Amino acid sequence: MIKMNNPLLFLALMVFTACKPGAGEVLITEEENGTWSLIVGQAKLLIDPADGAKDISLQIGEREFLTSKEVRKEYYGNSLWLAPQQQYWPEPKVLDFGPYTVEKSGNGVICTSQPDEENGLQYTKSILANADKQAFIHRYSIINISDTIKQLAAWEVTRFPKQGLSFFPYGDSLAPGTRYLDPSIPMLRRDGMIWHHYDPSQKGHPGKGSKAIMDGKNGWIAYLLNYHVFVKVFPDIAPEKMIPGELDVEIYVDNQYDYIEIEVLSENTRLAAGETLDWEVEWRILEIPSPIDLSAGNLELVNFIRSEIGL
């Protein structure tokens, strides 16, 4: 039996224990710097309402999955963008960099932007932690606050280091707009899956980043780093319902900086005055059982993920 003769040590241990969520629990905390943390299982998500309500950190175990400002000061963490890009580029500052109000709600936070007067839109990001699924659920709302019709899609852009594997089931490989990454970036297409392997030496096409635009199938894409896997689960959209020139799964490999982007898009949506585009992307955090081989093309790995996410 251990005796606690030091009351300060005892108090510190009590606080540490109280701050760890138990099985089936989540922990939501407003940090001293104004960011908010959501913890579920081994995963801790950090959201900055003062910086576009972006997800600026995702720690799974001891490893950081998202890239930070230290990698590239303009593009980091997880962003919500708008498509078509030629119409909404550069990305609206109100959307991606401006301050959001924030309120705690249930197992998450609701972040609301200032009105984007230039584009006649306003944005809401509700981020929830789900202990049963070991997931962070992102619910995006884009509201038409103008008196004109808007035609657009929501676009989630998540930045990871040039390491590990990405893989997803593909649909129509001949869909209009389909393009692949530069051949210098290893790709395996087999058994209905597309796999990419990344490392810091990859630079994409000479002089510019490399972009893949592909039709996904079943609505999921995974990023694997060691024995943890991040899985985006999203509505599967047919190519003919997408913004022209876009498909529902896109991957970007930067030619200069050490990051990739895994991107998914919503359906092309017509918004009359006062209407809202609502779209949900689920981030599932899974630990791969050690007997499973982590090599590209291993269907046992795919089947494990499908069994966990139910797709």
6: in domain: no
Q: How far apart are CA 83 and CA 94, in angstroms?
A: 16
pLDDT band at 181 (very low <50, low <70, confident <90, very high): very high
Give the model confidence (pLDDT) of 60-114 as tens digits: 999 999 999 999 999 999 999 999 999 999 999 999 999 999 999 999 999 999 9
4: in domain: no
Beta bridge partners of 190: 193
Give the model confidence (pLDDT) of 117-172 as tens digits: 999 999 999 999 999 999 999 999 999 999 999 999 999 999 999 999 999 999 99
Structure tokens at 67: 């890239």
At residue 93, the pLDDT reads 97
CATH of residue 224's domain is 2.70.98.10
pLDDT band at 16 (very low <50, low <70, confident <90, very high): very low
Domain total of the chain: 1
Domain that holds residue 294: 25-309
1: in domain: no
Q: How far apart are CA 117 and CA 119, in angstroms?
A: 6
Higher pLDDT, 269 or 183: 269
Chain-centre distance for alpha carbon 136: 9
Q: Would you say residue 34 has pLDDT above 50?
A: yes
pLDDT band at 20 (very low <50, low <70, confident <90, very high): low
CA dihedral 260, 245, 175, 264 (to 10 degrees): 40
30: in domain: yes
242: in domain: yes
Instruction: Calculate ∠ Cα 237-166-136, nearest 5°.
Output: 65
DSSP 260: E
Q: Would you say residue 179 has pLDDT above 90?
A: yes
133: in domain: yes
**Exposure of 77 in the CB half-sphere (CA atoms within 13 A):** 21
272: in domain: yes
76: in domain: yes
pTM: 0.92
**In sequence order, which residues have a C-beta less than 8 Å from that of residue 281 and are 6 or more positions away?**
137, 138, 140, 156, 232, 233, 234, 264
Q: How far apart are CA 66 and CA 63, in angstroms?
A: 9
Reported as type and span, the H/E element at residue 307 is helix 299-309
Q: Would you say residue 233 has pLDDT above 60?
A: yes
